[in-house]
Amino acid sequence: MTAVDDPGTPTWEGIHAAQTHLAGLGHAAEQANGRREVSDDEIADLAIAAIRADQDLKDGWIDEPPPESDLPEAPGATATGEEVPLFVDVAAVLSGGLPEAPPPVLLRRTDGHCLLYAAKVNVLFGDPECGKTWIALAAIVEALADDRRAAIIDLDHNGAAEILSRLLMLGARPDVLSDPNRFRLAEPEDEDNLVLTVAALRMFRPAVALVDSLGELLPLFGLNSSNPDDYTVAHRRVLTPLANAGAAVVAIDHLPKSDDARVHGQTGTLAKRRAVNGVTLRVRVHETFAPGRGGAANLTVEKDRSGGVRAHCPGAGKSAPAGRFVLSAWPDGTLTWAVTGPPRDDGIESAPDPDVALLDQLDPPPRSQRDVKERMGWGGSRAMSALRRWREQQKHATDEADPMPEPDPMLPLPT
């Protein structure tokens, strides 16, 4: 990616030309359904010019507005001259009847229902080491496995080696991660680089974009995390453009340290909750995540604007259980994951397939909940749900192998 070392004194004509070029690229990419290759150099040059021109305006280096002849002819026209309607065509929207709310499409549970929305901003928040990043990376792996694109913006200094290692352990293929047409990882260090990254990803059009984390986003822009207006600015500059490009944006956030503040959810301003147009999921550790042992985390719905997640979650309260993320560690060092559905009517959650498969490998077979806890290093709830489902499968297999004989019609029935 190239940089503009000295763009010279910005002019309104130059800014307008850059906007026209960028709008043309975006239109061409959309017309080609995302297949047009747009170089990072083009995006970088235009974005840097826009950033610096914007700063010049703030600093007062450009005093006069552009002449009217340089502006688009109509208020709803783009720089390319195409007309953009100022109002929604309500008749077109309603032509097929009332539109259905978009369903969540990513992070699929074992019952087939999903937890994250495409083209919206979704948030995972919770305490450190509760599994937030593992869950978000699992969504990345799911998208890549479905032959879709994925991107990660690492603001939390996790490091490329750590991120890629986790993705590989979760099942991502090295050739897919190495293909820039399928996966992109960015580690922006300043405001300009982050804006360039967002511009490039808008052209890339990933199915899922992970932003880790919101706690680092505002300071990168020199903004205050507790100021509603500051957060709104950062949200619109980074998260909204990615969602508008079609991505299921997954933003990671934290809980405050104060017990009094924790009851209100995420750190910082309430504007964080207001701005989310997808789902906000709180993550609570259920089984501590540890190497060689896996872990588990419970998910609850804190906000769901469209209602597509809550529709398949029990309970009428604000914090409905959305499922449990279970990370299972195998003897060969590989990991498998699953998101189970909410508890059944009897209060016992359905164990994911990997946990049941691990019990099936035990020799001698598991005898009790305590036996599973001691041999697998799991907690009581996870051990019980896995053992219960394993026993159900064993009984089902036995019944199929040795079915009850059909009565012989020639023999008299016992009295």
Q: What is the mean pLDDT of each run of 10 residues along the chain (415 residues)?
A: 44 52 52 50 59 49 42 41 76 83 94 96 96 98 98 97 96 97 97 95 97 95 93 96 97 81 72 94 94 93 94 82 93 89 64 76 83 82 79 66 53 51
User: Given CA atoms 257, 262, 264, 266 in this order, what sign does their dihedral have?
Assistant: positive
DSSP helix/strand/coil, 107:
strand
Q: Give the pLDDT score at 371.
A: 85
pTM of the predicted model, to two decimals?
0.70
In this structure, how many other beta carbons lie within 10 angstroms of the beta carbon of residue 76?
12
In this prediction, residue 305 carries a pLDDT of: 93
| Phi, psi angle pair for 209, to nearest 5° | -130, 120
β-pairing verdict for 120-126 and 279-290: parallel
Distance CA 213, CA 226 (A): 15
pLDDT of residue 108: 97
In angstroms, rounded to a whole number, what is the distance separating the alpha carbons of residues 299 and 104? 15
| Distance set, CA 329 to CA 133, 171, 174, 292, 341 (Å) | 17, 12, 20, 6, 20
Instruction: Give 121's strand partners.
Output: 249
First to last CA, the chain: 88
CA distance 305 to 151: 24
- The Cα 49–Cα 71 span in angstroms is 18
